[in-house]
Amino acid sequence: MFGSFAEALKFLSDHDIAMVDLKIAGLLGQWLHVTIPAKSFSQKHFEEGVGYDGSSGSGFTTIECGDVNARPDPTTGFLDPFCETPTLSFLCDTITSDTHEPFPSDPRNILRRAVEYMRSTGVADEAWMAPEFEFHVFDRVEVSNQPYDTGVKVKCSEVVSDGSMVALSQKGGYMRSMPADQLQDLRTEISLILEQMGISVRYHHHEVGGAGQCEIEINMETVPKVADHSMLIKYVIKNVARRHDKLATFMPKPVFGEPGNGMHVHQRLEKNGKPLFFDERRKNYADLSDTALQYIGGLLLHGRGLSGITNPSTNSFKRLVEGYEAPVNLFFSLGNRSAAIRIPKYAVSSKDKRIEYRSADFTGNIYLSLAGMLMAGLDGVVNKIDITKHPFGPYDVDIEQENDGFKSKITALPRTLYLALEALQHDHEFLLKGDVFSSEFIQNWIHSKHRRESNAVAHRPHPFEYQLYLDC
Catalytic residue among 47, 53, 67, 386: 53
**Is-catalytic flag, 282?**
no
Catalytic residue among 73, 80, 106, 134: 134
**Is-catalytic flag, 215?**
yes
Answer for the pair 89, 73: CB distance below 8 angstroms, yes or no.
no
**Is-catalytic flag, 132?**
yes
**Is-catalytic flag, 64?**
no
**Is-catalytic flag, 134?**
yes
Catalytic residue among 207, 228, 279, 422: 207
Catalytic residue among 33, 205, 244, 337: 337
Asked if residue 259 has a cis previous peptide bond (ω within 30° of 0), the answer is no
**268-107-48 Cα angle (round to 5):** 125
Catalytic residue among 215, 287, 361, 379: 215
Catalytic residue among 113, 358, 361, 422: 358
Catalytic residue among 80, 181, 258, 356: 356
The residues assigned a catalytic role are 53, 132, 134, 207, 215, 264, 337, 356, 358
